[in-house]
Chain A
Amino acid sequence: MTTPQNVVEVRDLHKTYGDTAAVDGVSFDIHRGETFALLGPNGAGKSTAIEILEGYRRRTSGEVRVLGADPEKAGLDWKARLGIVLQSSGEVGAVTVREQLTHFASLYPNPRDVDEVIAAVGLEEKAGALIRKLSGGQRRRVDVAVGIIGRPELLFLDEPTTGFDPEARRSFWALVRQLQSEGTTILLTTHYLDEAAQLGDRAGVIASGRMVDLAPIDELGGADARIPIVRWVEQGGAREERTHAPAAVVAALVARLGGEPEGLEVIRPSLEDVYLDLVGHEHADHLVAPDTLTETRA
């Protein structure tokens, strides 16, 4: 069922632990060469979903195809085509950066050059250092290096830049763009919306295990979500108006009030505003969900 354009296909994915639904009916595709960002608050089910795709967890129901295979049944050949950067670095035995990368390179049929990868993640000066002696951010870069050493077709990046300073994050973005230009398909989860905006082609927003939106990043939340808002205070009360022509509204306001409006603001909702709106709505929906649940059960 996987068409050549789709590297990942997820249909109605469910994962429940006891009575709790960690993933509750999620569907999406990732096209070849695309970078897909999976966004959502902590505990929303992002990591559960990504670990099901990586083959680490079993799903309760639904259909999943990754590189044409079911991750629960796929073998070593399939793993050789993936690159995985897990959410937590974990510990590494007493080996150096270069030893670790050389070793992992040997596991793959067509690996990248070890020194090039070390340079790409900016660890040239630490190549001979024991990984456990590195800082958290540097260890994270080793994780990324291990993730890409096998020249993966599909790369999973689960919160890859946690602990990076701004400069390291910029150079990580440059590295990801390099991978994108080489045709790597990427599934990215992140808490940094600017990172999703910088790197992602499309994004899915997950809240409470459900996909609340799925769109190109600059269209998340729908067209209306980005309509500018004019806010001001009039007769002691806050007023606001959504408009495609904020300047005209402000001009009319000035004319009507005969001067500078009090507390005037013109707001263009940022990706973050749109995102928080999406996630917040879902939480609000969820407050009424128990009733619906009882009804379905009864």
Chain B
Amino acid sequence: MTAPTTATGATGARPASPALGSPLARTLRLGVLRIGYEVRAYFRQGDTVFFTFLFPVVMLTIFSVSFSEASFGQTADGDDITAAWFFLPAMLAAGVLLSGLQNLAIDIAAEKSNGTLKRLAGSPLPVVSYFIGKIGQSVATGVLQAVILLLLAFTVFQVPLPEEPARWGDFVWIFLLGVITSAILGIALSAVPRSGESATAVVIPITLVLQFISGVYLRFSDLPDWLQSVASIFPLKWMAQGMRSVFLPDELVVLEQNESWDQPGIALALAVWLVAGLILTRLTFRWIRRDS
């Protein structure tokens, strides 16, 4: 009854993975298949499309229209910074948080309680492939959401977009690091709700509070110092700051903490949260509660 683990030539010895092929290649191949499966299912889900996917678009429109008379500062050339311009980076950051953390925490908690994970647990799907599918879904929907936000801001609200390639390079790494970190934190957070029904009630307040204290809905520089410090513990503040560093004119850097965009700080904060999320996921994620 001892199962041979190495090919020692003993009768019945089998290579580690005879039928399924190389574990890593298989995990990646199935992960890519999962992305397609997840993205397709995502867009057929009317409520998530509205509340997660289009929410920042709706909010940008509301802010841009409501504060269309207000000025949020001036550029060096004396142009007014409009509400749309000012809130574009904030809504991009909110989109990253919603596509990753909010979307996945609710989605996976629901899959846990509706039997989807139990079904997958009985199949030879590697758990990492499942994660790749979920993270890929967040990245794919997040990219599409960002494109819609940028197009809306550029065409409808005439927000001037950066022309320097370096700024777009910054956008790419901040966006990707942000959305992946956010997705992994979403997977970790999905362990908290006890049921699919309670997931929304657990997750939405968290993301909502974060958005208010991290400079998404309120101007970060208007918040008291202590609140800014509290917000600096969490990743959304850094995502929003990163997006401002890309899309706002450099003159507005004076409104930031220490009057600096602090991109190394952004990279560090997000990387720390990424690693923390991975550790939490490793510790808490189970296909099923084995003895429920």
Interface residues of A (CB under 8 A from B): 1-2, 17, 54-58, 65, 68-69, 76-77, 79-80, 82, 84, 86, 88-95, 99, 103-104, 106-110, 130, 146, 150
Contact = CB atoms under 8 A, between A and B. Distances in A.
A107 B111 CA distance: 19
Contact of B118 (A90, A94, A95): A90
B164 interface: no
Interface string B36-54: 0100110011000000000
Nearest to A130: B44
Given A58-B291, A93-B111, A107-B30, 12 more contacts: A58-B290, A76-B17, A76-B23, A76-B124, A79-B122, A86-B118, A86-B122, A90-B116, A95-B44, A106-B30, A108-B124, A150-B123
Contacts of B33: 103, 106
A104 B118 CA distance: 14
8 contacts: A17-B291, A55-B121, A76-B17, A76-B126, A79-B123, A90-B114, A94-B41, A108-B124
Contacts of A1: 1
Contacts of B21: 109
A107 B114 contact: no
Given A86-B115, A91-B115, A95-B41, A77 B3 contact: no
Nearest to A79: B124
A79 B121 CA distance: 9
B190 to A, nearest CB: 15
A95 B122 CA distance: 19
B19 interface: yes
B288 interface: yes
B195 to A, nearest CB: 13
A68 B45 CA distance: 42
A99 B44 CA distance: 13
Give the one of A76, A82, A91, A108 with max B CB within 10 A: A76
Interface string B16-31: 0111110100000010
Nearest to A100: B37
A109 B26 CA distance: 10
Contacts of A107: 30, 123-125
B167 interface: no
A272 B65 CA distance: 73
B194 interface: no
Interface residues of B, number: 30
Given A57-B290, A110-B19, A80 B116 contact: no
A54 B124 contact: no
B125 A99 contact: no
Contacts of B111: 93
A256 B121 CA distance: 68
B3 A69 contact: yes
Interface of B: 1, 3, 17-21, 23, 30, 33, 37, 40-41, 44-45, 111, 114-116, 118-119, 121-126, 288, 290-291
Contact of B40 (A91, A95, A104): A95
B290 A88 contact: no
A88 to B, nearest CB: 6
B48 to A, nearest CB: 10
Contacts of B116: 90-93
B288 A56 contact: yes
What DSSP secondary structure best describes chain A's contact surface?
A: loop
Contacts, number: 89
B45 A94 contact: yes
B12 to A, nearest CB: 9
Give the one of B115, B123, B291 with max A CB within 10 A: B123
A88 B113 CA distance: 12
Contacts of B19: 77, 80, 109-110
Contacts of A84: 119, 122-123
A109 B118 contact: no
B52 to A, nearest CB: 15
Nearest to A110: B19
Contact of B37 (A68, A91, A99, A130): A99
Given A57-B291, A58-B290, A80 B20 contact: yes
A61 to B, nearest CB: 14
Contact of B290 (A56, A79, A146, A150): A56
A150 B291 CA distance: 27
Given A65-B1, A86-B115, A103 B37 contact: yes
B290 A77 contact: no
A94 B48 CA distance: 12
A91 B44 contact: no
Return the 7 tightest CB-CB contacts between A and B, nearest first: A90-B115, A94-B44, A91-B114, A93-B41, A80-B124, A84-B122, A109-B19
Give the one of B21, B23, B122 with max A CB within 10 A: B122
B45 A93 contact: yes
A56 B124 contact: no
A243 to B, nearest CB: 50
Contacts of A68: 1, 3
A275 to B, nearest CB: 29
Given A103-B37, A106-B33, A54 B45 contact: no
B1 A146 contact: no
B251 to A, nearest CB: 47
A136 to B, nearest CB: 14
A99 B41 CA distance: 10
B124 A77 contact: yes
